[in-house]
Amino acid sequence: MKYSFISLIVGIILIVGAFLILQRGNVSPFKVSQLQELINENQIGENDYELFEEKIDELIANGQIEVYLESSSVVIFVCTLALGVALVFFGIHSIVDKLFFKKFFEKANFPVAIRRALLFTGVIVAGLILRFYRVEWNMVVLLIPLFIVIELIVVYFSADKSEERPQELPKFTEKPVFVNTTAEDGHISGREFENIRNSYEEEFEEEDQNVIKETSEE
């Protein structure tokens, strides 16, 4: 459980930190020179945020926003945001799995949580990229059933492999190491245990031979 809570807290910090650095820090997703030309051409004032957002929306709609974006800053922001989303999803998934789907002594299924967190994060990033390239929302929403279909396929094939995998029987070829103890403390010694085991093995062998004789006589 502690790993789930740590993952959840770190993910929230990354998400909040990514937006705070982008808004209040020195990291800008836009190229300063290109952005200054846009401001001068449209005579955007210092506090004229509505006009600035309107021009940015026009650039996105016309597919010209790539010219004004600083690729390194955008990549850092997207990667930090994606990592934060994946950690938050992993933490929530593990906590819910542990509380509602596992017994008290069982651990949460971390591999499944990691797989679903990566798939969910991939869907979110893909949706942002599609919207960036002016893809309609009805097409972006199709990523959700795609995510569900991929998860069902993985679950189906993983279940088949687990069923086909033969269960290995325990091997008793190696003799255990016993510590010789005296009978005074209520425990048998290692030699006494060996004698008892050998007597049982002889009895089983005799029974097997008797069964074989009976079947052969019939």
> Domain map of the chain by residue range?
2-29+70-164, 183-217
Q: What residues are paired with 69 via a beta bridge?
A: 30
Count of other CB atoms within 10 angstroms of residue 1: 12
d(CA 87, CA 65): 30
Look at residue 107 in the predicted model and tell me its pLDDT.
85
The beta-carbon contacts of 92-99 under 8 Å, at least 24 apart in sequence, are: 92/8, 93/117, 94/1, 94/3, 94/4, 94/7, 95/1, 95/4, 95/5, 95/8, 98/1, 98/4
CA atoms within 13 A on the CB side of 46: 0
pLDDT, tens digit only, all 218 positions of the chain: 788 899 999 999 999 988 887 776 566 677 777 778 888 887 777 777 788 778 877 877 777 777 777 777 778 888 899 999 999 999 999 999 888 888 877 888 899 999 999 999 999 989 888 877 777 778 888 888 988 898 899 888 887 665 555 555 455 454 454 444 445 555 556 666 677 667 766 666 666 666 666 666 65
Look at residue 23 in the predicted model and tell me its pLDDT.
72
Q: Which of 120, 118, 142 is nearest to 130 (CA)?
A: 142
d(CA 108, CA 120): 18
Count of other CB atoms within 10 angstroms of residue 88: 21
Q: What residues are paired with 30 via a beta bridge?
A: 69
d(CA 38, CA 56): 9
Q: Which of 93, 38, 94 is nearest to 65 (CA)?
A: 38
Look at residue 78 in the predicted model and tell me its pLDDT.
86
